[in-house]
Structure 1
């Protein structure tokens, strides 16, 4: 069985709710980056033991939050020793705008994973791009590289759309299935 860690930073609770959906699908453990950009005690050890790291951050100003960036910079210690080489990686994000430059955030996470010598797992789900598509359909926002969600800036985390959360859950399940194949 693979050890999956869902590492995330959440500014207002939306990314945390998305992280929970990803973890539910993946059977993974949550690991939160705090408001100061730090991991809790034992966090680095949890990442070292994980076979798979699924990263999440809100998209702020076209990229990850500064707290996530602080974590990424600190991960250079693991990079220097190739400690995360050949781990599986994946990513997810949320923003207030429909587009919100979420692709830039996922590309940042992808690049970080590649710098660590990791293997990236994408969403693996077609977009809901027909005339009959509904905002609560799976992958309505049309991502391929990871799970994305959109939450209006005046809506709390409790009001996130079920379709975005189900897309996140199924994404977690896909990552877990891929991890199981790699482990075999």
Structure 2
């Protein structure tokens, strides 16, 4: 069995719900970055021991939150020692608008993973892009790079669409399956 860690920051609870769905699908451990941009005690050791690291951040102003960025900058210690080289990585995000520059956030997460010498896992899901598609369908936002969700700015985390959460859960399953294959 592979060890998957979901490390994330959530400002208003939406990204936390996505993280929970990803973790459910992957059978993963959740590792929350707090409001000050810090990991809980033992967090760095858990990441070092992981086979796969799934990163999540809300999309704020076209990128990750400052709290996630603080975590990313602090990961330079692991980078210097090449502690995360050849681990699997994946990412997810949520923003208030349909586009919301979420791909920019996923590109940031991808670049961080590549700097660590990691291997990226995309969604492997077809987009829901036919005339019959409904907003609550799996991968309606249509991302291949990582899981994306859209929640209106005036909607609470409890109002997230089940299709977006199911997309996150299925994404977690894919990462876990890839981790098993990668370990060989």
Fold equivalence (TM over 0.5): yes
Question: 1:20 maps to what in 2?
Answer: 20
Question: 1:148 maps to what in 2?
Answer: 148
Question: 1:70 maps to what in 2?
Answer: 70
Aligned-partner Cα distance in 2 for 1:108–1:182: 23
Please state whether the residue corresponding to 2:91 is helix, strand or coil.
Answer: strand
Query: How much is the aligned-residue C-alpha RMSD, in angstroms?
Result: 0.4
Aligned-partner Cα distance in 2 for 1:140–1:4: 25
Aligned-partner Cα distance in 2 for 1:83–1:165: 31
1:40-94 CA deviation, whole Å, 9 max, x = no partner?
1100001011010000000000000000000000000000010100000000000
Instruction: Tell me how far 1:22 sits from its aligned partner.
Output: 0.1
Please state whether the residue corresponding to 2:6 is helix, strand or coil.
Answer: strand
Please state whether the residue corresponding to 1:64 is helix, strand or coil.
Answer: coil
Question: 2:9 maps to what in 1?
Answer: 9
Aligned-partner Cα distance in 1 for 2:50–2:176: 12
Question: 1:99 maps to what in 2?
Answer: 99
Question: 2:39 maps to what in 1?
Answer: 39
- The alignment's TM-score, normalised by the length of structure 1, stands at 0.99
Aligned-partner Cα distance in 1 for 2:134–2:75: 39
Please state whether the residue corresponding to 1:117 is helix, strand or coil.
Answer: coil
Please state whether the residue corresponding to 1:11 is helix, strand or coil.
Answer: coil
Q: How many residues end up aligned between the 2 structures?
A: 184
Please state whether the residue corresponding to 2:110 is helix, strand or coil.
Answer: helix
Please state whether the residue corresponding to 1:24 is helix, strand or coil.
Answer: helix
Instruction: Tell me how far 1:183 sits from its aligned partner.
Output: 1.3
Please state whether the residue corresponding to 2:141 is helix, strand or coil.
Answer: coil
Runs (4+) of structure 1 exceeding 6 A deviation are none
Aligned-partner Cα distance in 1 for 2:73–2:121: 22
- The alignment's TM-score, normalised by the length of structure 2, stands at 0.99
Aligned-partner Cα distance in 2 for 1:162–1:32: 22
Unaligned runs of 5+ in 2: none
Question: 2:182 maps to what in 1?
Answer: 182
Aligned-partner Cα distance in 2 for 1:111–1:5: 18
